[in-house]
A and B are shown apart, each in its own frame.
Chain A
Amino acid sequence: MNALIKRVAMTALLVFWALPLCWMVLASLRPESALYATTATATAGFGGNHYRALFAERRFWQPMLNSIVVASSTTLLALVVAVPCAYAMARLQFRGKRALMAVVLAISTFPQVSIVPSLFLILRALGLIDTIPGLVLPYLTFATPLAVWLMAGFFRELPPDLEEAARLDGASRLRAAVEVALPLAAPAVATTAILTFLYAWNEFLFALSFTVSPDRQTVPVAIALLQGRYQVPWGQILAAAVTASVPVAVVVLAFQRRIVKGLTAGAVKG
């Protein structure tokens, strides 16, 4: 009985999430008039026209590439920058820790729209408008708080015994952290990587405001530019969304493998 309820609940949840996605894929393969038709779900008109138009006419591969570069760089740099900071905030004692964590958090509390004008001026002064670093820097800035808090939370929950054992064996504090705590933090690192990648991948406001030429634009901006004055080329937009989901799916698949139990549990009992 229990198992049946569980099975039903699982299926219901999966269906809720999967159904709009299926519809999206289907709709991207049909002509647009089918979206507004008043007749039933016709099966007529399946074809890859939208995808063809997307890549032949709109050169969608360029924004895809830009997004991949920007998102990967942001993720990598965010990990490099946030993990040590998180470790320090979780494990080490120093004055003003609580205030600093609060400040870090405060950064992500601000509505982005009001920051855009000032950020534009700063990036322009640095000559970074319409460049890849010009996007990576703001993304890094606003993805780091979440990364820091996530990793800090994780480090805090990690039992200090293993590290202390390593230090008793003669390792320095830093070395103990890198060789013992970091591997155990794999699930949190993977989660942080996924979330940062997705944040950078989907971010729209900064990408729109800080890029100018078509070969620097990212996927969300390219999708927005598909829109005409009144017309919304649904087919192409959905096709673009489906296409854009592929790199994301790859990244998620790759990283989610690390989100498994057993790396921390049992390690303490050892």
Chain B
Amino acid sequence: MIRLRRRPLEIRETRLAWLLMTPTLALLAVMALGPLVATIWESLFSHDLRLPWLGRTFIGLGNYTEAASDARFRQALAHTVGFTVTTVAIELVLGLLLALMLDALVRFRGLARVLVLLPWALPTVVAALIWRLMFADQAAPAAELLDWVVPGSSRVDWLAGPQSAWVPIVLAEVWKTTPFMALLLLAGLQGIDRTLDDAARLDGASALQRFRHITLPLLRPAIVVALIFRTLDALRVFDLVFVLTGGGPGTSTEVVSMYAFTSLLQNLRFGYGSALSVIVFVIGFSLALGYVRMLEPVREAR
């Protein structure tokens, strides 16, 4: 391998960089890469813990071809993608609104921020249980609340319909994780130079114009990070759906993580379950790379 001679400054910089990164990389290498590689390796085998007489045979991509023809998996994937797109879109908009609002608040700023972050702070199981009670037709006090907000809604058995069951799920997810988006965007907003905004206002630009042409572009890096991590989390949603509907009615609200969990820890099909997880990983990772590409143009300019 031919190496160009590098200037001493570059070498020093590289050495410093690796020094700074070593703790993180060492940690990830030991605790994360190992299990990841083990899971990927496991996905190449047909391994059913319940049936040891079938042995653990190498089948290469056999699990993956099975997944491709598994209608239940394809359905779960469709559900997950739909859920991700919907919730991330809603959360982005609401999160932005929330961030702008929290930024603008002067009085009760701390209190409002804590309040808004509390849903994110609750254990997912509790949040899911709260929303399930609100939509379960028997819990009168919570249903009354719902009726007050949207009249007549408590008479619909939300959790029993294949499409309507998504409403409590999406609402619960939005309620719980928009604060996460809002917090990231809020932090991003702090880095924006107020003087630019003031100058534009003096020039006569309306609030909307200022937002579109100044705030939003400068907020782009924060938005991309928020999108990446929210998308990855939404693709892996599990607890919320598990507690709210268990995947029902039928399998209308089953998401990929639930199917992987079922295959892995209930049906004890370790090979297949690992393959499903790898598929989720590949999809998530590709999406993340796509988002990062969105970040590129801004970086080039700098």
Q: Is B51 an interface residue (CB 8 A)?
A: no
Q: Which of B56-64, B65-73, B120-128, B244-252 contacts A (4 or more CB under 8 A)?
A: B120-128
A114 to chain B, nearest CB (A): 4
B220 to chain A, nearest CB (A): 10
Cross-chain contact of B27 among A14, A81, A154, A240 (Cβ < 8 A):
A81
- With A20-B134, A232-B129 given, is the CB distance from A252 to B273 under 8 Å? no
Q: Mark A106-135, 1 if CB is under 8 A from B, else 0.
A: 111111111101110010000000000000
A189 to chain B, nearest CB (A): 10
Cross-chain contact of A138 among B31, B180, B225, B288 (Cβ < 8 A):
B31
A207 to chain B, nearest CB (A): 10
B124 to chain A, nearest CB (A): 7
**Pairwise interchain contact A23-B280, C-beta atoms closer than 8 A:** no
**Pairwise interchain contact A109-B284, C-beta atoms closer than 8 A:** yes
Cross-chain contact of B133 among A35, A115, A154 (Cβ < 8 A):
A35
**Pairwise interchain contact B190-A110, C-beta atoms closer than 8 A:** no
A188 to B134 Cα, complex, angstroms = 36
Number of interface residues of B (CB under 8 A): 99
**Pairwise interchain contact B16-A173, C-beta atoms closer than 8 A:** yes
Q: Which of B17-25, B81-89, B157-165 contacts A (4 or more CB under 8 A)?
A: B17-25
Find chain B residues with CB under 8 A from A19 CB.
Answer: 145
Find chain B residues with CB under 8 A from A170 CB.
Answer: none
Residue of A whose beta carbon sits closest to that of B280: A111
Q: Is B167 an interface residue (CB 8 A)?
A: no
Cross-chain contact of B94 among A13, A85, A102, A224 (Cβ < 8 A):
A13
A/B pair count, beta carbons within 8 Å = 292
A232 to B187 Cα, complex, angstroms = 38
Cross-chain contact of A202 among B101, B123, B225 (Cβ < 8 A):
B123
**Pairwise interchain contact A198-B144, C-beta atoms closer than 8 A:** no
Residue of B whose beta carbon sits closest to that of A17: B116
Q: Is A29 an interface residue (CB 8 A)?
A: no
Q: Is the interface of A mostly helix, strand, loop or mixed?
A: helix
Q: Is A60 an interface residue (CB 8 A)?
A: no
- With A187-B190, A204-B239 given, is the CB distance from A115 to B121 under 8 Å? no
**Pairwise interchain contact B24-A144, C-beta atoms closer than 8 A:** yes
Residue of B whose beta carbon sits closest to that of A219: B123
Shortest Cβ-Cβ A-B pairs, 10 listed = A114-B277, A118-B35, A84-B20, A88-B20, A85-B24, A109-B284, A92-B17, A191-B187, A141-B31, A88-B17
- Chain B residues near A (Cβ < 8 Å): 10, 13-14, 16-18, 20-21, 23-25, 27-28, 30-36, 38-39, 94, 97-98, 101, 103, 110, 112-126, 129-131, 133-134, 138-142, 144-145, 175, 179-180, 183-184, 186-187, 189-195, 207, 221-222, 224-225, 228-229, 232, 236, 238-239, 256-257, 260-261, 264-265, 270, 273-274, 277, 280-281, 284-285, 288-289, 292, 299, 302
What are 17 A-B interface contacts by the 8 Å CB criterion? Answer: A35-B139, A35-B142, A41-B144, A84-B20, A92-B16, A92-B17, A102-B289, A102-B292, A105-B292, A107-B36, A110-B39, A140-B27, A173-B16, A253-B110, A257-B110, A259-B113, A266-B194
20 more contacts with CB within 8 A, not counting A110-B281, A146-B229, A150-B225, are A10-B101, A35-B141, A85-B21, A92-B16, A93-B14, A95-B14, A105-B288, A110-B277, A111-B236, A111-B260, A119-B35, A122-B34, A141-B27, A153-B225, A201-B121, A202-B123, A245-B122, A249-B114, A256-B110, A259-B113
